[in-house]
Amino acid sequence: MSSQRINPEASYRLGTAQKLLLLILPLVAALAALCFGRALISPREVFLAVWGKLRGEQTVNGTVALTVWNIRLPRILLALLAGAALSTAGCAFQSLFANPLATPDTLGVAGGASFGAALGILLGFGLVGIQMTAFAMGIAAVALTWLGGSGRGRGLTSVVLSGIMIGSLFSALVSLVKFVADAESQLPAITYWLMGSLQSAGYKNLALGAPPILVGILVLLLLRWRMNLLPLSDDEARSSGANVKALRAVTVICATAMTASCVAMCGQVGWVGLLIPHMCRMKFGSNHVSLLPASVSLGAVFLVIVDTVARSVTAAEIPVSILTAIIGAPFFILLMRRSGGWRL
Amino acid sequence: MILRVENGAYAYKNGPLLFRDVNLEVRPGELLSVLGPNGAGKTTLLKCMMGLLKWKQGRSSLDGTDVASMSERALWTTVAYVPQARSASPAYTAFETVLLGRTGRLGVFSTPKQADLEKAEEVLALLGISRLSQKLCSQMSGGELQMVLIARALAAEPSILVLDEPESNLDFKNQLIVLDTISKLAARGIACIFNTHYPEHALQRSDKALLLSGGEALYGSTSGIVTEANIERAFGVKAAIGSFETAGNELKNVIPLHLSTGEGGAAPEQPEQNALAAVTVISHDYAAAQRINLLLHEYSDMIVGRMGMPYRERGVYIIHTSLDGPRSRIEALSQRLSIIPGVSAKTTYAKEEHELA
């Protein structure tokens, strides 16, 4: 038996090679995504274009520079951020509710944000205005969920139930907005937006949407050891000596802000929040010290790849939500069959 | 660290008092068992004791400090809680689970350090479950999981360990493993409090017992509390307490006979009788001799003669004592001696006068 002894450190932390891989993968994916597209650009040109832009010099021809810097780069940054945020939020919610089916939308964030965006389109707001109403309504939806479901003597299950109610309430409101929207221009815009697209990416949106995501990810990463307490029962978690109430509140706030910010920037991108955390659980186990960084990194990689495919394969861009499901679901099932089932 | 509960009472929201007048005291190395029928509030009592639930009346204190006023951190590095082993456990490995026990000693944003990893390994080794280190808790048997949960509690280096029905739902062998572990921990100076459904486990393991009976809390030495009369009162079951003699010890067992008829439940109070007895103790563990001496000191007023002899060649310590005192106290002493791990103890009572005639 003693020969089976495993170095405990290696057993619960990521190895150096794994850490490095998780850092490099998103960069490689982003670089590759800068090259691919309807027009192929060589890595050298990409590098020169970015370099030239930073130095303020003309290094490559104008179209290439424009494509790399103004079209592809913001979009890839958005994909990195949104993928990381959705995957991290999904992971956090699954642990918080000790429920493998929890997604970033469990508390009704996406429903609220979708309503906000639809409302923004209906009222004829600009892109930034739509983003702001979406974010605000997303947060409002979760606040309503929390007010409705939490309270003395009620468990987290009633919060989840309340989230489902609030979510359906807001999806009804979205339908209402669609109903009154102008069928010629607004209705298609709303429908297309709801399908999720990273097309609208620009530096202005990013400047507004990135901070909540970056802060959320950073806080959760710092709390990664404590997050292991989330799936435990109330008394167990409390008797560890940690302030569980505060931990739960911080987790909900971070995950909500990240999700709301995502939905505000690129609509409802489904699946990432469910698929990636589960894939990471199968590969890295349930310990958040390794699970959380893996979810951040692989979520970003996944969405960059999917979005690159979405904008490259056909002349008319495929909505990204459709692709996340088409690519994600079979891959997930394959992984599940090979690794012996999901676990939480 | 001395845990004390004074006049504790608890009631669920708007309900009647579940139990009242709970008074108890647990010192380092002592084992307290909490007994009572289903629904009497055993688990609730433990939770109140640790401050997980608020007492309706009364208070619990650690070395005189009210538990309710202590910081979570200070409280949970002193007291550790082992909840009932549930089947639905998160998919952490045993090692990760045990490491979680260190969380109370870590900063909010820190991850476990080398010293914490070593402590977790040490605890797993202490309980003899190092082989489970990399096994997932979600795939463990009930017995394995219970041991891992005890290990997690120990990783916090507590001076008081509270266990909620640690041996329920376990088979024969695993019950023995868990109970032996608890006895061993108590012998190392940790105060242990555990809930149990088995009166005989209380008799075979604990110094003190608390029996919840119809809202009242009977508390005292185990041999004085776990009696046929009290069992009938609390559980409504007529039971016989017998004993089984092994070479080294006398083990008590409790056999339920039939449901109480309700008639003649309260046996007439027997006047306390004095008795004369000789207790012989053989300790196979030198450290346990220390504990035996402390125990004898507690009952020194009854001791009329005593001889202690270390027998170094065999590494044992032999003590003969002669006692004269109330029979219940002699029984309490011999019961408390018998529960120390590595100790053989037997008591011989002098014949009473009417038997001699």
Residues on chain A touching B112 (C-beta within 8 angstroms)? 12, 225
Work out the minimum CA distance from A9 to partner chain B, whole angstroms: 7
Distance CA B45, CA B161 (A): 14
Residues B166 and B304 grouped into a single domain: no
Residues of B contacting chain A (CB within 8 angstroms): 13, 47, 50, 52, 72-73, 75-77, 79-81, 83, 86, 88, 90-93, 95-96, 99-101, 103-106, 108-112, 114, 117, 120-121, 130-131, 133-134, 136, 138, 156
Q: State mean pLDDT over A14-43.
A: 90
CATH code of domain A15-339: 1.10.3470.10
Residues B54 and B108 grouped into a single domain: yes
From the list B334, B348, B342, B298, the residue with the least C-alpha distance to B316 is B342
Q: Is the pLDDT confidence value at A23 over 50? A: yes
From the list B25, B18, B23, the residue with the least C-alpha distance to B8 is B23
Tell me if B260 is assigned to some domain: no
Distance CA B24, CA B8 (A): 9
Residue type, A7: N
Question: What one-character DSSP code corresponds to residue B52?
Answer: S
Tell me if B251 is assigned to some domain: no
Q: Is A224 on the interface with B (CB under 8 A)?
A: yes
Average pLDDT value over all residues in chain A: 86
Residues B135 and B8 grouped into a single domain: yes
More confidently predicted of B296 and B89: B296
Residues on chain B touching A229 (C-beta within 8 angstroms)? 100, 103
Closest CB to B76 among A231, A239, A281: A239
Q: Tell me the pLDDT band of B195, cut-offs 50, 70 and 90.
A: very high
Question: Which tens digit of pLDDT belongs to each residue from B272-294?
Answer: 788 899 999 999 887 788 889 88
Closest CB to A287 among B76, B96, B101: B96
Q: Is A285 on the interface with B (CB under 8 A)?
A: yes
Q: What is the DSSP string of A257-306?
A: HHHHHHHHHH----SHHHHHHHHHHHHH-S-HHHHHHHHHHHHHHHHHHH
Alpha helices (H) along A56-126: 62-66, 73-96, 109-122
Question: Which tens digit of pLDDT belongs to each residue from B216-245?
Answer: 999 999 999 999 999 999 999 999 999 888
Residues on chain A touching B107 (C-beta within 8 angstroms)? none
Q: Is A288 on the interface with B (CB under 8 A)?
A: no
Q: What is the pLDDT of residue A74?
A: 93
Question: Which tens digit of pLDDT belongs to each residue from A188-234?
Answer: 888 888 888 888 788 988 998 999 999 999 999 999 999 999 999 88
Q: What is the pLDDT of residue B87?
A: 60
Q: Is the pLDDT confidence value at A5 over 50? A: no
Work out the minimum CA distance from B8 to partner chain A, whole angstroms: 20
Q: What is the pLDDT of residue A2?
A: 38
Q: Is B304 exposed, middle or buried (0-12, 13-18, 19+ CB in 10 A)?
A: exposed
Residues B147 and B198 grouped into a single domain: yes
ipTM for the complex shown = 0.85
Q: Tell me the pLDDT band of B210, cut-offs 50, 70 and 90.
A: very high
More confidently predicted of B105 and B267: B105
Q: What is the DSSP string of A22-53?
A: HHHHHHHHHHHHHH-SSS---HHHHHHHHHHH
Q: Tell me the pLDDT band of A288, cut-offs 50, 70 and 90.
A: very high
Q: Tell me the pLDDT band of A268, cut-offs 50, 70 and 90.
A: confident
Distance CA A316, CA B94 (A): 52
Query: Quick one: angle between helices B114-126 and B142-155, nearest 10?
Result: 130
Residues B198 and B306 grouped into a single domain: no
Residues on chain A touching B83 (C-beta within 8 angstroms)? 233, 235-236, 239
Q: What is the CATH number of the domain that holds B18?
A: 3.40.50.300
Least confident of A295-309, A312-326, B173-187: A312-326
Q: What is the pLDDT of residue A340?
A: 62
How many percent of chain A have pLDDT more than 90?
38
Q: What is the pLDDT of residue B261?
A: 79
Question: Which tens digit of pLDDT belongs to each residue from A107-118?
Answer: 888 899 999 999
Residues on chain A touching B87 (C-beta within 8 angstroms)? none
Alpha helices (H) along A109-198: 109-122, 127-149, 156-180, 186-195
| Structural domain of B147 | 3-235
Q: What is the pLDDT of residue A247?
A: 93
Q: Is the pLDDT confidence value at B151 over 90? A: yes
Q: What is the pLDDT of residue B53?
A: 92
Beta carbons of A240 and B101 less than 8 Å apart: yes
Q: Is the pLDDT confidence value at B267 over 90? A: no
Mutate to test the interface with B, among A240, A284, A286 (most CBs of B within 10 A): A240
Q: What is the pLDDT of residue A154?
A: 64
Residues on chain A touching B46 (C-beta within 8 angstroms)? none
> By the 8 A CB rule, do A303 and A150 touch?
no
Distance CA A177, CA B41 (A): 54
Alpha-carbon distances, residue B149 vs A97, B123, B140, B264 (angstroms): 21, 11, 12, 44
Domain count, chain B: 2
Alpha-carbon distances, residue B250 vs B30, B185, B200, B246, B280 (angstroms): 20, 22, 12, 6, 12
Q: What is the pLDDT of residue A158?
A: 85
Q: Is the pLDDT confidence value at B265 over 70? A: no
Q: What is the CATH number of the domain that holds B283?
A: 3.30.70.1150
Alpha helices (H) along B110-141: 114-126
Residues 6+ apart with CB under 8 A from B7: B20, B21, B22, B23, B57, B58, B59
Tell me if B52 is assigned to some domain: yes
Q: Tell me the pLDDT band of B302, cut-offs 50, 70 and 90.
A: very high
Beta carbons of B109 and A11 less than 8 Å apart: no
Strand partners, B322: B278, B305
Q: What is the pLDDT of residue A3?
A: 37
Beta carbons of A236 and B47 less than 8 Å apart: no
Contact map slice: A 31-90 vs B, CB within 8 A: none
Work out the minimum CA distance from B119 to partner chain A, whole angstroms: 11
Residue in chain A closest to B92 (alpha carbons) equals A286
Residue type, B233: R
Beta carbons of B92 and A242 less than 8 Å apart: no
Q: Which two tokens stand for residue B1?
A: 């660290």
Tell me if B153 is assigned to some domain: yes
Strand partners, B259: B237
Tell me if B231 is assigned to some domain: yes
Strand partners, B282: B318, B344
Work out the minimum CA distance from B140 to partner chain A, whole angstroms: 14
Question: Which tens digit of pLDDT belongs to each residue from A147-204?
Answer: 888 766 667 788 888 999 999 999 999 999 999 998 888 898 888 888 888 887 889 8
From the list B6, B53, B93, B102, the residue with the least C-alpha distance to A12 is B93
Closest CB to B109 among A223, A240, A243: A223
Question: Which tens digit of pLDDT belongs to each residue from A63-96?
Answer: 888 888 888 999 999 999 999 999 999 999 999 9
Residue type, B234: A
Q: Is the pLDDT confidence value at A12 over 80? A: no
Beta carbons of B72 and A238 less than 8 Å apart: yes
Residues B282 and B231 grouped into a single domain: no
Closest CB to B90 among A4, A238, A344: A344
Q: What is the pLDDT of residue A6?
A: 46
Beta carbons of B134 and A6 less than 8 Å apart: yes
Beta carbons of A12 and B96 less than 8 Å apart: yes
Q: Is the pLDDT confidence value at B50 over 80? A: yes
Beta carbons of B72 and A236 less than 8 Å apart: no
Tell me if B252 is assigned to some domain: no
Beta carbons of A286 and B92 less than 8 Å apart: yes
Q: State mean pLDDT over B47-72.
A: 93
